[in-house]
Chain A
Amino acid sequence: MSDAAHSDHPAHLAHHFETSEQQLASAKTGMWVFLATEILMFGGLFCAYAVYRRNNPEIFDIGHRYLDANMGAINTVVLLLSSFTMAWAVRAAQMNQRKLLITMLVLTLMGAFGFMGIKYVEYSHKIHLGIAPGSFYDPHVDEHDEAVKEEATPEAVTQAPSSKPQVPATTPLLPADQQSNIAPAHAAPLGMVAAETEPHDAHGKYGGGDHGHYATQAELDMAFTFFSIYYLMTGLHGLHVLIGIGVIFWLIRRAVRGDFSSEYFTPVDLGGLYWHLVDLVWIFLFPLLYLIH
């Protein structure tokens, strides 16, 4: 590199790069390496998913019945389409089509908002059913919920809080020497040994009555682990969509300002890569969470 190269440094070119090509290539390499970290981060959640599903298939079967596959499918389509408009936006930037670039970015943004909107509807429906994450998990059978075939009575709803089996506040702490790495089953009616203990448990708690009905309530109680995983996976993914919304906003602002051209479109390119990754993760999440057989 010579001083001459220095003096005609374009504005977007940082001082330590010699050419725009080198800068774009570095940025892309950096972005891909970063995407690898994102994949591994989600990979951890997929690992938890795989381990719990393999060892407690019945819980996942119960849990997924409370997810609406249609909503999931619509969301998949929305996200795929926004990925498509994003790819088109990158193309527009590369070809100097500023208006098209802005249009495509706005469409992508609408897709992102659409996705979050549908997610909001799904979440609020679940929370309405008491299927909230963690300590707030307090499921009760809703008579209007089509996912549950059994008929529910108003008494069941009022009884529901007492059926909440393991909220932390009521969990007695074990003395340290009893805290082995293996779960003591008396503290773990859910999950690992839930299938065997729970029906009996429910029977005792409610003192008989309609078996089919209470079994449903008990089943839902068991699905705690599934919903922990569900909220973690979709929550982390949703967080990435929110970050994506911020990024796309920023890209639109810069595009309107006229920052991008066929000479310099690195941010659009990188933002696109990120957005496609968000899409990629959802491509796997959708069948794994919504379409359990």
Chain B
Amino acid sequence: MSDSEQHDHAHSHAVPLHILMGVILALLVLTFLTVAATWIDLDEWNIWIALGIALVKAAFVGLYFMHLRWDNLYHGIVLVCALLFVVLFIGIALMDSVEYQPDVTRSPTRNVSP
């Protein structure tokens, strides 16, 4: 009860139907865009575009379907923290694995045939 944000919870917000409709429409369009983006070859940019669109879709789902836009700010923080820690984990593990790849392929036993 010390958290003031609780008060506007329970009978909270039923999300207006036109918003739900708009969001699903946007999601379907974005899905089409994801597929369409692979028709053009942009080298390494393709994956970043795909991830960018996925992030926008995720934001739509989170904000509207999962009510984050009207919800307790803490829940949004939890979600963002989780994503940040995933990025931290992937970032460092990926960085390290790229760095030690030369050691793997330059391994002395490499030329031993099976």
13 A-B interface contacts by CB (under 8 A):
A21-B7, A36-B79, A54-B97, A69-B35, A80-B27, A84-B24, A90-B15, A91-B15, A91-B17, A184-B109, A280-B61, A283-B57, A284-B58
- B79-114, CB under 8 A of A: which get 1 and which 0? 101110110011001100110010111010111111
> Known contacts A40-B86, A47-B93: does B65 contact A83 (CB below 8 Å)?
yes
- The answer to whether A44 has its CB under 8 Å from any CB of chain B is yes
The answer to whether B53 touches A279 (Cβ under 8 A) is no
One of B31, B38, B114 near A76 (C-beta < 8 A): B31
Find chain A residues with CB under 8 A from B64 CB.
87
- The answer to whether A67 has its CB under 8 Å from any CB of chain B is no
The answer to whether B113 touches A186 (Cβ under 8 A) is yes
The answer to whether B107 touches A39 (Cβ under 8 A) is no
Chain A residue total in the interface (Cβ 8 A):
65
Q: Scan residues 30-80 of chain B and give those whose CB is less than 8 A from a CB of chain A.
A: 31, 34-35, 37-38, 41-43, 46-47, 50-51, 53-54, 57-58, 61-62, 64-66, 71-72, 74-75, 78-79
The answer to whether B20 touches A47 (Cβ under 8 A) is no
Query: A49 CB to closest chain B CB, in angstroms?
Result: 9
Query: A274 CB to closest chain B CB, in angstroms?
Result: 10
Q: Scan residues 1-34 of chain A and give those whose CB is less than 8 A from a CB of chain B.
A: 18-22, 24-25, 28-29, 32-33
- A244-267, CB under 8 A of B: which get 1 and which 0? 000000000000000000110000
Query: A181 CB to closest chain B CB, in angstroms?
Result: 10
Find chain B residues with CB under 8 A from A47 CB.
86, 89-90, 93-94
The answer to whether A81 touches B61 (Cβ under 8 A) is no
Find chain B residues with CB under 8 A from A225 CB.
none
Residue ID in chain B nearest A1 by CB atoms = B1
The answer to whether A21 touches B74 (Cβ under 8 A) is no
One of B6, B23, B105 near A192 (C-beta < 8 A): B105
Cα distance A178–B4 in the bound complex, in angstroms: 61
